[in-house]
Structure 1
């Protein structure tokens, strides 16, 4: 299941992590929510493929450990989402559609 592109309307910010918002619900380790706002990664969908981390031309993403999560034990965290240039490459290469980039957010 892909990230909900209107998550900012249907979810609430429940925390912050590495300088970005975390949109709930969160119930660790199984439910981790969506990390980021402009560049949003659904941690519950992310499978640690790594294409976004490798292909991002401005290094928006860094790996973060998520032990015990059923999809993968590492996620691509948008810790540098402020650097995003809206190229959409991360959205295009993600095999599970876990990423949304929205310049209006």
Structure 2
């Protein structure tokens, strides 16, 4: 199941990690929620393959450790989401549809 594009309405704001908004519920290490707002990554389905890191022309993503998560023990954090140019390459290359980019949410980060 891909990331919920309506996560802001359907999930609760659970706080912040590494300067990035987190939307929950969260219950580490199995349930990590969605990280980011303008550029959002659903950590619960992210498999950490790195395609988004490799293809992003403005280096929005960095690796973070997520030990014990059943899908992967590293995730792509949208650490620099304010740099996003809305090219959608990360959305296109994600094999599990774990990323959503919404230009309308850019002003809310």
Sort the TM-score into its range (normalised by shorter chain).
over 0.9
**1:42 aligned partner:** 42
Q: Can you give the 5+ residue segments of structure 1 that lack an aligned partner in the other structure?
A: none
Within a 5 Å distance, the mapping from 1:4-19 to structure 2 comes to 4-19=4-19
| Distance (whole Å) between structure 2 residues aligned to residue 21 and residue 14 of structure 1 | 8
| Distance (whole Å) between structure 2 residues aligned to residue 68 and residue 18 of structure 1 | 19
Runs (4+) of structure 1 exceeding 3 A deviation are none
SS at 1:14's partner residue? strand
Shift of 1:27: 0.1
TM-score by length of 2: 0.95
Aligned residues: 105
How big is each residue's C-alpha offset from its partner over 1:55-103, in whole Å with a ceiling of 9 and x where there is no partner?
0000000000000000000000000000000000000000000000001
Within a 5 Å distance, the mapping from 1:1-105 to structure 2 comes to 1-105=1-105
Shift of 1:9: 0.7
- Aligned-residue Cα RMSD (Å) equals 0.5
- Greater shift after overlay, 28-37 or 7-16? 7-16
Shift of 1:17: 1.1
TM-score by length of 1: 0.98
How big is each residue's C-alpha offset from its partner over 1:19-58, in whole Å with a ceiling of 9 and x where there is no partner?
1100001000000000000000000010011000010000
Q: Can you give the 5+ residue segments of structure 2 that lack an aligned partner in the other structure?
A: none
